[in-house]
Amino acid sequence: MPAADTGTAPSCPAVPAGDVLRVERLSVRFRMRGRPPVAAVSDATFRLAAGECLVLVGESGCGKSVLASALLGLLPGNAETAGSAFLADGLDLLAADERTLARTVRGRRVGLVPQSPAAHLTPVRTVRSHLEETVRALGGAAVGTGGRRERAARVRAAAERAARRAAFPPGHLDRYPHELSGGLAGRAATALALVGDAPLLLADEPTTGLDRQLAEAVVDELRACTRDTGRALLMITHDLAAAERIADTVAVMYAGRIVETTAAGEFFGAGGPRHPYARGLLDALPERAFTPVPGVPPELGALPPGCAFAARCPKADALCAGQRPEFTEGTACHHA
């Protein structure tokens, strides 16, 4: 039987202010045998400040997860990258070698909150055991030196600290994944991402499969672990309701490109987004016009020469068909 959510407000240590991530013209191409390459991400550019939550939205297959994988150095062998992605300390995630990424980035500088947290947890191990193993794997001061008992006590304390920060109730630490509700599994995954005190959290579809109430609880906790502590959060989602609840900034991806970046208040407010695709995404919501964007996105291996959205766009004209719009002043559209 799933355990109930009984967590309290998380308390996270503060991290320094400033830009946590600066992504410039990040592109990812997949080489394909006997076929044109797949342009999964093209020229993505954005900044993420300490305490800020940027939500990346867009239809399935538009390149959101590939962008996240590029930042973590987890792309498959047929991928080629271009551009840069600098952390605050000057490390370019795209140029870093696997040893640097494994030893100093994943878990330490960038914490990952995975999609489907329950599936991410090993079924035969308790939440405490997951957390303690992560503390030991990351090593450092949380493990320290000295005798076996002292080290074990420090590991236990660090694991419990991460659980508190993610509002995971201490009384449920010795439960197995199948004994957790969706909300608690989400908190366990967030706790694992927080073990290394990473200044940047990356959450890939953290509300997938959760009902509305749980989805709201998960994003509220992620929100608390970022805004209140100076961490930065890059969240990838299809869920515009979750995006509205958590985002400071919304970036909209279409066919591998970021086509609009807007302050969340403006995006979801009376003014709305400027790009016709971004407006279409909002109009598709049941609580708004409930009108889907007509048509389907183009193949990323056969993008048209002009605007990739032109074939579906009510404003498209000959200029859109012939010339790809540059990304200027927050949008990539000839008519925005």
Ligand X SMILES: Nc1ncnc2c1ncn2[C@@H]1O[C@H](COP(=O)(O)OP(=O)(O)OP(=O)(O)O)[C@@H](O)[C@H]1O
- Phi/psi at 161 (5° precision): -65, -45
- Return the number of the residue (169 or 298) whose C-beta is nearest ligand X: 298
Is residue 128 within 8 A of residue 172, CB to CB? The reply is no
Rounded to a whole number of angstroms, the minimum distance from the CB of residue 163 to ligand X is 28
d(CA 222, CA 111): 12
Q: Where do runs of H (alpha helix) occur along 259-313? A: 264-268, 276-283
- Return the number of the residue (64 or 172) whose C-beta is nearest ligand X: 64
Q: Tell which one of 7, 10, 63, 83 touches ligand X (CB under 6 A).
A: 63
Should residue 254 be labelled a site residue for ligand X when binding is judged by CB under 6 A?
no
Should residue 64 be labelled a site residue for ligand X when binding is judged by CB under 6 A?
yes
Should residue 240 be labelled a site residue for ligand X when binding is judged by CB under 6 A?
no
Considering only 61-69, 176-184, 225-233, 244-252, which stretch makes contact with ligand X by CB under 6 A? 61-69
Indicate the DSSP class of residue 3: B
Is residue 162 within 8 A of residue 221, CB to CB? The reply is no
> What mask of x and - would describe binding to ligand X in positions 102 to 141, judged by CB under 6 A?
----------------------------------------
Rounded to a whole number of angstroms, the minimum distance from the CB of residue 27 to ligand X is 12
Should residue 277 be labelled a site residue for ligand X when binding is judged by CB under 6 A?
no
d(CA 143, CA 132): 10
d(CA 187, CA 23): 28
Considering only 56-64, 126-134, 143-151, 315-323, which stretch makes contact with ligand X by CB under 6 A? 56-64
Q: How far is CA 206 from CA 85, 186, 222, 234, 283, in A?
A: 23, 7, 9, 11, 23
Should residue 38 be labelled a site residue for ligand X when binding is judged by CB under 6 A?
yes
- Phi/psi at 16 (5° precision): -60, 155
Q: Tell which one of 19, 24, 61, 114 touches ligand X (CB under 6 A).
A: 61
Q: What is the C-alpha radius of gyration for the chain, rounded to an integer number of angstroms?
A: 21
Should residue 60 be labelled a site residue for ligand X when binding is judged by CB under 6 A?
yes
- Structure tokens given for 313: 């766009």
Rounded to a whole number of angstroms, the minimum distance from the CB of residue 239 to ligand X is 11
Should residue 71 be labelled a site residue for ligand X when binding is judged by CB under 6 A?
no
d(CA 187, CA 207): 11
Should residue 186 be labelled a site residue for ligand X when binding is judged by CB under 6 A?
no
Rounded to a whole number of angstroms, the minimum distance from the CB of residue 237 to ligand X is 8
Rounded to a whole number of angstroms, the minimum distance from the CB of residue 51 to ligand X is 25
Which helix H or strand E contains 159, and what residues bound it? helix 148-165
Rounded to a whole number of angstroms, the minimum distance from the CB of residue 138 to ligand X is 27
Should residue 8 be labelled a site residue for ligand X when binding is judged by CB under 6 A?
no
Should residue 78 be labelled a site residue for ligand X when binding is judged by CB under 6 A?
yes
Strand order in the sheet with 257-263: 110-113, 200-204, 232-237, 53-57, 249-254, 257-263
- Return the number of the residue (48 or 62) whose C-beta is nearest ligand X: 62
Should residue 65 be labelled a site residue for ligand X when binding is judged by CB under 6 A?
yes
Is residue 292 within 8 A of residue 284, CB to CB? The reply is yes
Rounded to a whole number of angstroms, the minimum distance from the CB of residue 224 to ligand X is 25
Amino acid (1-letter code) at residue 217: A
Binding residues (CB under 6 A) for ligand X: these are 30, 38, 40, 58, 60-66, 76, 78, 238, 300
